[in-house]
Amino acid sequence: MIVQIYTVQSPQEGIALAELGVDHIGITPSDRGLPGELSNTSAAEIFKAIGDKAIKVALTVDSDLNKIVSMVKTVKPDILHLCGDLQLMTPARVVELRGLIPGMKIMQAIPVMDESALQIARDFEAVSDFFILDSYSPQIGGIGAAGFTHDWSISRKIVLKSRIPVILAGGLSPENVADAIQQVRPWGVDSLTKTNEPLGGGKFRKDLERVRLFVKNAKGKSQG
């Protein structure tokens, strides 16, 4: 079971997550007020420190292809996580983006609000390397970081039909991740909000003990 944890705030934190067995470490390079966002330069420093200790994932909600390409060239992720407006970042635009950053793996966020998520997944499957099935809140820019779960029965249907690896996200915690894996059977699981330690003013750091429990419960369930 692949474990992905967002969103790292420092090089030391990134290394600590890798040492806890986190497979994918996510960062949010942005200037749009997203939860836990960092500058491209800070994100690049964190990824440099992580090196090959984990797979490095960078998130973007942008639809400006030049801005995305600039971020990728500075931050140097292994995977680019697209979670912006699907009406702007259509499958055709993803194809165009791929031409600008050849070889970059794409993780496409699918907002699981209702059964329409199945069609969205079908539309994006041919242009994506991974799906991340996430909850959506209009109060948060982009898809994800909502902090609540969605209808896992819909996510299970997507997993059954998908020909590419699927990561389940959305309100996952050490307490519910084993149940989520049992119900959805994804390739991987992701946590942001439920493994944070709030610091006030909208800021946070990762709660390393909760991350440790999340990894233990996720990988324990996948082996059981």
pLDDT (tens digit per residue) in 63-96 = 999 999 999 999 999 999 999 999 999 999 999 9
Please give the mean pLDDT across all residues of the chain: 94
pLDDT-based confidence at 224, cuts 50/70/90? very low
Residue the block writes with tokens 């820019």? 141
Q: In the predicted model, is pLDDT for residue 208 greater than 80? A: yes
Residue 179's pLDDT is 97
Strand pairing partners for 59?
81
CB atoms within 10 A of CB 115: 11
Q: Are strands 55-60 and 24-27 parallel, antiparallel or unpaired?
A: parallel
DSSP 86: T
How many H helices and E strands in the chain?
A: 8, 10
0.85 cut: is pTM over it? yes
Fold adopted by 2-223: TIM Barrel (3.20.20)
pLDDT in tens, 107-158: 999 999 999 999 999 999 999 999 999 987 766 667 877 777 899 999 999 9
For the chain, the domains span 2-223
